[in-house]
Every structure is written in C-alpha cells, then in structure tokens.
Amino acid sequence: MQAPPEDLQLIGAELAVRWADGREDYFSGEYLRANSPSAENVGEKDIFGNQYGGNGPREFPGVKIEGWDYQGNYAVRFDFSDGHRTGIFSWEYLRKLGDLQRKKEKD
C-alpha cells in the first residue's frame, strides 16, 4: 500500500506532490482530468459485461485544479474547473501516473 504524500500544493497551474521518500511529482490539471479514474472517463460494466460510459473526450485543454478533498487516508478527489469532481485518485494510482509521466518524458 502506497503511503500518503507528505504534501499536496498548487504551484501556479500545477499540482505538486511530495512523497515520503522525497520524490516530487508535478501534474497539470489537464493531465489529471484526462486520467481521472471516474466512470465518466473509464466507464463501468454491469453484471452482464455491458460497458457504459468511458467514451467521452480524452483531452481537456485549459482545465485547472480548483481544489481537492482527501478521501480517508487512501486517496484524493479533485475539483476541476470544468465541474468534474467524481474521480477518486488513490495514492497508488497517483504515484503510477507520476511513473507514467516520468517514462514519457524520458522517451
């Protein structure tokens, strides 16, 4: 289980995340909105395997983070400037997004 970050801050238009191991990740609102784990973004399946949702836009130009609420000690839910606020980002998922972003920057 991923330990919670030591700190979350908005620096300009980016979210800065400082992890307990000293690593820092920086995310734009556009990136987090595009990767929201909400049913609107990724969809959900019923008991018969039918997919609902998850076919919306994948880019969110100009979307900013306006705030957030902690979800227990395991996740955070962001308030985005386009009104979206249903995706719950677990600490594991947020760290994974940081890993993916770092990998993309190296390629």
pLDDT in tens, 68-98: 999 999 999 999 999 999 999 999 999 999 9
Please, how many CA atoms are within 13 Å of residue 41, restricted to the half-sphere of its CB?
Answer: 17
Tell me which residue has tokens 């920057």. Answer: 105
Where do the structural domains in the chain lie, given as residue ranges? 7-106
Q: Rg of the chain's alpha carbons, rounded to an integer?
A: 14
- Please give the torsion angle defined by the CA atoms of residues 88, 46, 100 and 14, in that order, rounded to the nearest 10 degrees: -30
pTM of the model as a whole:
0.89
What is the distance between the alpha carbons of residues 39 and 48, in angstroms, rounded to a whole number?
Answer: 17
pLDDT digits 0-9 by tens, 3-43: 999 999 999 999 999 999 999 999 999 999 999 999 888 88
pLDDT bracket for residue 57 (50, 70, 90)? low
The verdict on domain 7-106 having CATH code 2.40.33.10 is no
